[in-house]
Homo-oligomer: A and B are copies of this chain.
Amino acid sequence: MSKGHVDFGVPSGRALRAEPQDEASGRGLSRAVEVTLRVRYAETDAMGIVHHTNYIVWFEVGRGEYMRQQGGDYAQLEAQGYYLRVIEVQARFLAPARYGDLVTVRTRVEEARSRQVTFAYEVVMAETGQLLATGQTKHICVDEEGTVKAIPEAIRDMLRRN
């Protein structure tokens, strides 16, 4: 019988609470939300390590999990006609992950302004905590036609809630 031991991607529930938000500016670090993934074979490349673009896919997974744990749901956001389009991404790769490794993505909101939100990420080896990558994404809110919109207040609240 299968034991069903948990090992394929689990919000691990550790949350790093950062400084209190400065509500006036929308600045300040929100708590970090974590999600753990197992590296897929399709994510490796001929160097035998994870291809760098996949960390950026994992950032997106972290972002989705962040919203879900904050009580939001990106799919619902889109159903209402709002899209958080990525306008900037930045990543540093410090050590490689390999097939089968469990990696934890830590996501927090670094800044949530009326027209732009910035997420920050850390990817660590789940078992050792070794830092593999760090990164940041910036987003604007657009409607279905691609017109830039103010981020709805309810969404900004969700993003900053602690």
Contact = CB atoms under 8 A, between A and B. Distances in A.
Contacts of A146: 96
Nearest to A135: B89
Contact of A45 (B11, B42, B88): B42
Contacts of A37: 8-9
Contacts of A57: 40, 42, 53
A99 B10 CA distance: 17
Nearest to A162: B1
Interface residues of A, number: 62
A126 interface: no
Contacts of A93: 85-89
Most chain B CB within a 10 A radius of its CB, from A9, A12, A73:
A9
A159 interface: no
A80 B14 CA distance: 36
Contact of A47 (B10, B40, B83): B83
20 contacts: A1-B15, A4-B10, A4-B11, A7-B68, A8-B35, A9-B37, A40-B60, A40-B64, A41-B45, A41-B46, A41-B51, A42-B60, A46-B99, A52-B86, A53-B53, A53-B56, A64-B100, A73-B100, A86-B93, A89-B90
